[in-house]
Structure 1
Amino acid sequence: MAAPGEALTSAGYIEHHLANLSLAKLGLVAEETSFWNVNIDSLVFSVLTGVLFLWVFRSVAKKATSDVPGKLQCFVEMVVGFVDQNVKDTFHGRNPLIAPLALTIFCWVFLMNLMDLVPVDFLPYSAQLAGIPYLKVVPTADVNITMAMALGVFALMLYYSIKVKGPLGFAKELALHPFNHPIMIPFNLLIEVVSLLAKPLSLGMRLFGNMFAGEVVFILIAAMLPWWLQWVGSLPWAIFHILVILIQSFVFMMLTIVYLSMAHEDNH
């Protein structure tokens, strides 16, 4: 599939599928690198998957029964129990926000990752018929989405670090760790600030890198093989990619729990 007027070559096909529907592509902002540029498709699909998660869990909660539960209720209870057990094993403080946050992150990231299993031409081709020239359906293959979530976790880390340890205790942790001596304060600050900033960077980039790479493989298979052979390459990769989708959701959730647990540790 190519954009209108674009030659149907492998390079053009790949480039087209890797382009987001952005304000710059629609000519609403001057440059694609502009601060005001927004990837509309990433925002739309991230909101839709978030609404789907909320709707399913709310529906199950309203219809929950103590009698023989339905299959969907059993599945939701298994997910909630799985997340709750991981929070109990990893988070050692007291905060009623952590378990709901972990559940939301796990389910939301999983649903966004799951969009990678939709055939690469299905939604983009349908969108093109409706006059939408570009469409990327995997929000977590957009670094803006993954880093936005990581920065949200980072903001919670800073908030609870200051709340639990106090502004002075947090400052002392940065300035007097690992070497508790005034002369080592500049060195300690360098180590601790870099370590602190590396947490959201690694959290967001890990998810983005894995999902973007998986999306590229699907696009390459679709671009290099005739349509009647694409399933030969896509099916094995899709089966393997299910594990990647699940693992990346779990890793993002667990790192969030670990980072917030560290923020709640008062060492002073």
Structure 2
Amino acid sequence: MTIEHAVEAGHAAPANSTEYIAHHLTHLHNEAGTINLDTFWISAILGLVFLGIFYMASRKATAGVPGRLQNFVEMVMEIVNDTIKGAFHAKSAVIAPLAITIFVWVWLLNAMDFLPVDLLPKLLTYVGVHNLRVVPTADVNHTFAMSFSVVLCVIAFSIKAKGLGGWIKELFTAPFHAHGIAVVFLAPVNFLLQMVELVAKLISLSLRLFGNMYAGELIFILIALLPWWAQWMLGGPWAIFHILIVTLQAFVFMALTVVYLSLAVEKH
């Protein structure tokens, strides 16, 4: 980690620790301030990196002695496939590619935390960019968008498995099943609980990932404020520990997605 409080072109250096932290927690916005451009572009670039790596691995795959890239890709696919086999018992041609994409992409987004705090923000000052947050998953807007996409997949899987009519019927008849006139009285309660369940999935997925990555980003920023010798003493162990957090959060997001999709195709 490095802490460079150099003067940026046309911008004064942060005067104190508070300004330094605020500077590193400020997004690069569009002119209207409605879109976090740093989150968007870094996510898009890392998505292309993921596609490129797996495409190269597929082109170089061999039945003989595998190379390092093939070994890595096969290891990732084995982890994901084991998770799917243990949680998803229906048949779907989409679930495996979706789970692999989520796991690798979220891991890459999280892994941006390993870059030195001042590296990319400093480099981009030379092209006139003076604010940049490099960890997309530390942006709650991004984690909510990913979680919302998962909820849409849950609804789509449920409709495909049960039909539109079956899904709508389940909204009003589960989890409390009833017969006769009791169905009418319990329908609003069932519908409310179904909506609460969907919202809970959305919030749990997004805030768990956001909270862990935001805390990690903030700790790296605080370490960067220390003298250089303290940065090495504290930054190294924290970075090693953070490897576990980055991987675990990517796995948890992927595993919960598989579990939610499995519940969506089951009849209640």
TM-score, normalised to structure 2's length? 0.91
SS in 1 for 2:116: coil
Paired AA for residue 226 in structure 1: P
Equivalent residue for 2:17, pick from 4, 10, 21: 10
| Alpha-carbon offset, residue 246 of structure 1 | 0.4
| Alpha-carbon offset, residue 201 of structure 1 | 1.8
Equivalent residue for 1:215, pick from 214, 217, 229: 217
2:259 paired residue number: 258
Return the alpha-carbon distance in structure 2 between the equivalents of residues 71 and 167 of structure 1.
46
Return the alpha-carbon distance in structure 2 between the equivalents of residues 203 and 228 of structure 1.
37
- Whether the aligned pair in 1 keeps the contact of 2:14 and 2:23 (CA below 8 Å) is no
Equivalent residue for 2:150, pick from 148, 153, 171: 153
Residue 22 of structure 1 pairs with residue 29 of structure 2: yes
1:89 paired residue number: 86
- Per chain length, whose mean CA-contact separation is higher, i.e. which structure has more relative contact order (CA < 8 Å, sep 6+)? 2
RMSD (CA atoms): 1.4
Paired AA for residue 263 in structure 1: A
1:236 paired residue number: 237
Residues 230-258 of structure 1: CA distance to partner in whole angstroms, max 9, x if unpaired? 12221111111111000000000001101
Return the alpha-carbon distance in structure 2 between the equivalents of residues 75 and 6 of structure 1.
42
SS in 1 for 2:228: coil
Residues 61-82 of structure 1: CA distance to partner in whole angstroms, max 9, x if unpaired? 1011111111111111111111
1:185 paired residue number: 187
Percent of residue pairs bearing the same amino acid type:
49
Query: Which stretches in structure 2 are left out of the alignment for 5+ residues?
Result: none
Return the alpha-carbon distance in structure 2 between the equivalents of residues 82 and 163 of structure 1.
26
Return the alpha-carbon distance in structure 1 between the equivalents of residues 259 and 172 of structure 2.
22
The alignment covers a number of residue pairs equal to 256
Query: Which stretches in structure 1 are left out of the alignment for 5+ residues?
Result: none
- Map 1:66-215; keep pairs closer than 5 Å: 66-180=63-177, 181-182=182-183, 183-215=185-217
Return the alpha-carbon distance in structure 2 between the equivalents of residues 203 and 113 of structure 1.
15
Paired AA for residue 41 in structure 1: D
| Alpha-carbon offset, residue 172 of structure 1 | 2.4
| Alpha-carbon offset, residue 264 of structure 1 | 1.1
SS in 2 for 1:229: helix
TM-score, normalised to structure 1's length? 0.91
In the TM superposition, structure 1's runs of 4+ consecutive aligned residues that sit over 4 Å from their partners are none
Residues 112-170 of structure 1: CA distance to partner in whole angstroms, max 9, x if unpaired? 10000111011111112332110111111111211111111111111121221122322
